Chain A
Amino acid sequence: MHVYLPIAEMSANALLFLGMGAAVGFLSGMFGVGGGFLMTPLLIFSGVPAAVAVGTGTAQIVASSITGAIAQYRRNNVDLPLGLVLLCGGIFGAVIGVQLVRILRELGQFELFLSLCYVLLLGVIGSLMMIESVRAIRRSQLGGEASTRRPGQHSWVHGLPFKMRFPRSKLYISAVPPLLIGAFVGFLTAIMGVGGGFIMVPAMIYLLRVPTNIVIGTSLFQIVFLSAVTAVLHSTLNSSVDAVLGALLMVGGVVGAQFGTSAGAELKSEQLRFLLAAIVLLVGLRMGWSLVATPTELYSLGNTIRGR
């Protein structure tokens, strides 16, 4: 079943992208992550232009995370003020990121930049997760219960000005760290087509000391709105959001995620994290390989933005 993707300007098999959406959706539902960091590389591997992969990926994240966000909101797991502060920073970061994508795309360096970002990010995140999950698996084998919340501890974060009260998280902290974290995640969303939960969640837990049950909900809330804004920005400035491709990924993704969620509930979280770390490292390796392997064709055509 062939479809023509109007923005990617290629014709491809619809089933390929439906399946890709379903697979990534399944994994993201199971691991409780957005899946953007898998979706974007897979789209690039299958021939979608890098900028279109990123732009369309941001739109797809909206579909994949909105259900979870609503569910978390209903369970009162969203710290709205904190989410809004994160979102403000996020939008600021996204605006800068989208501009950077535009400039790099004109220079013909966006693909290289994106690959480098992915190799770096996936390598670091994957290694950290791998180490952490191995430790956690060992710990659980020894019978101890891992706790991430260490209440009462203070760090440099608590010495900053513009203090705000976040009652839901039982926090009284400066607005600067959440703004900065938000901006960084927003920047990543715009340049890499990721939700950024894998940065947001550890940053909220370890830097802001937000209670774990609030972290997921607030992060999801922030991701939905941030990726929606980023998708609109990409569409406006880069014309890099493909509606047909997006729709295929969304349909595959939301269905896959539903099965993934129930599957994830059955597995131990340490095992899940180990598995996810392995997938992350594999994708990173594959990306890195394309940077160092001698290409068969040295020349390439400049991807001038078509349309008119």
Chain B
Amino acid sequence: MTKSLTLVLLLAAALAVVPGFALGGAVARPDAQSPTVTQSTRLAPSPIEIATIKRPRLRETAPAEPPKPVDVPPSLTPVEPVPSPLAPESVEADVSMRSIAVTSGYAGAEIVVFGTIENSRQPSAESGFYDVAIVVEGVTERQDLRQKQRVGGLWVNRPAFAFASVPSYYALASTRPVEEFAEAGVRDALGLGFDHIAMTPAVAKSARPSSVELAEFRQAIARLKSNQSLYLRDDYGVVFSGRSLFRAAVQLPATIPVGMLTARVYLFQNGVLLSQYQSRVTLTREGLERWLHDFAFDKPLLYGLFVVALAVAAGLTASAIFRPRAM
């Protein structure tokens, strides 16, 4: 009887090992992160969600505020700028949370960037009179890029390029694709779009890469980071909920490095940058997880001893519990 139990347990163990292999097949890249991470963080708000939030609000606000006496046809395409005697538009914005804590159960979070246009001449939320682009950037860090090359039949990592400063996190949300309302030069200057993110190459030790190579390296970083949900783009993420009020939900993945997040808001009209605003969010670690992280990096020797003590305790506890059965 015990023999059959043994075989069953043996089978169970073998089966438990097999998913490891299967899992490995799915995550072939060494840098790939756990699939569970991407699952939990891909919680981008669907357009339907936003629409349902927006619609009732519109009914409230639209009749309450009569359209300004500016001659603007209510169409979805941008209209000719109307010279106005009114004061120039300016944008102000804020973030829903001033500080976000990364805790043990952390599987990503969402912040809402909202703002308002002063002296808005927009007749309604849907007029498309203004274009808004919101960029949320994490702390910049040095980023090495490696390229796998085949050496004697094996795929070996070779250093490809080093960037002295790359945003650890980047999220772009806009009223429509930024390419439609901002020229390449403007996108470069403001960092709108994955190809326009400010990345400073490290001082090259040997050969300087060609502009084609450099573009490929930048694209590789953006691609790898977007695979980890660290670089995000939502072309219709900014939604107006009134003549001057707009908002955008921005996803923060669990792997986001802690530090200061910067939210930059750009107001465009007909391809012209009218106003910009900047706001900050602090991302911290809290709870047991923060404590362990700080402990590990501040007092590594004590931390190591602590983990070993944990291991000893785990081993002894288990043997104490199981002793009557095992012996």
Contact = CB atoms under 8 A, between A and B. Distances in A.
B207 interface: no
Interface stretch (A61-69, A81-89, A121-129, A161-169): A61-69
Contacts of A257: 318
B52 interface: no
Q: Is the interface of A mostly helix, strand, loop or mixed?
A: helix
A307 B2 CA distance: 50
Given A30-B10, A239-B297, A291-B155, A298 B147 contact: yes
Contacts of B144: 108, 301-302, 304
Interface residues of B, number: 88
A60 to B, nearest CB: 7
B148 A20 contact: no
Interface residues of A, number: 94
Interface in A282-308: 282, 286, 290-304, 306-308
A232 B305 contact: yes
A253 B240 CA distance: 54
Interface string A254-297: 11111111110011000000010001001000100011111111
Given A244-B289, A247-B314, A6 B220 contact: no
Interface string A105-138: 0001101100010000000000000000000000
Contacts of B221: 299, 301
B254 A11 contact: yes
Given A42-B17, A66-B316, A302-B143, A228 B254 contact: no
Interface stretch (A21-29, A152-160, A206-214): A21-29
Interface stretch (A45-53, A142-150, A190-198): A45-53
Contacts of A66: 311-312, 315-316, 319
Nearest to A234: B304
B255 A286 contact: no
With a 10 A CB-CB cut-off, give which of A2, A26, A258, A291 has the most chain B CB atoms: A2
B205 interface: no
B36 A16 contact: yes
A243 B311 contact: no
A47 B32 contact: yes
Contact of A246 (B148, B220, B311): B311
Contacts of B31: 300-301, 303
B312 A63 contact: yes
Nearest to A271: B10
A299 B224 contact: yes
A250 interface: yes
A78 interface: no
A85 B159 CA distance: 42
A4 B104 contact: yes
Nearest to B303: A235
B42 interface: no
Interface string B226-270: 010000000000000000000000000011010000000000000
A250 B311 contact: yes
A45 to B, nearest CB: 3
B23 interface: yes
Nearest to A38: B17
Contacts of A30: 10, 13
B20 interface: yes
B307 A11 contact: no
B314 A290 contact: no
Given A2-B105, A4-B106, A235-B300, A42 B20 contact: yes
Contacts of A298: 147-149
B30 A263 contact: no
A232 B304 contact: yes
A243 B33 contact: no
Contacts of A45: 20-21, 23-24, 27
Interface of B: 2-3, 5-6, 9-10, 12-14, 16-17, 20-21, 23-24, 27-37, 40, 102-108, 141-149, 153-157, 159-160, 162, 217, 220-221, 223-225, 227, 254-255, 257, 285, 289-290, 292-293, 296-297, 300-301, 303-308, 310-312, 314-319, 322, 325-326
Interface of A: 2-4, 6-7, 9-13, 16, 19-20, 22-24, 26-27, 30, 38, 41-42, 44-47, 50, 59-67, 70-71, 108-109, 111-112, 116, 228, 231-237, 239, 241, 243-244, 246-247, 250-251, 253-263, 266-267, 275, 279, 282, 286, 290-304, 306-308
Given A70-B316, A300-B157, 6 more contacts: A11-B34, A24-B17, A239-B297, A258-B325, A294-B155, A302-B146
16 contacts: A10-B37, A13-B36, A63-B318, A111-B30, A235-B301, A239-B296, A246-B307, A255-B318, A256-B13, A263-B9, A266-B5, A297-B224, A299-B221, A302-B146, A303-B31, A304-B141
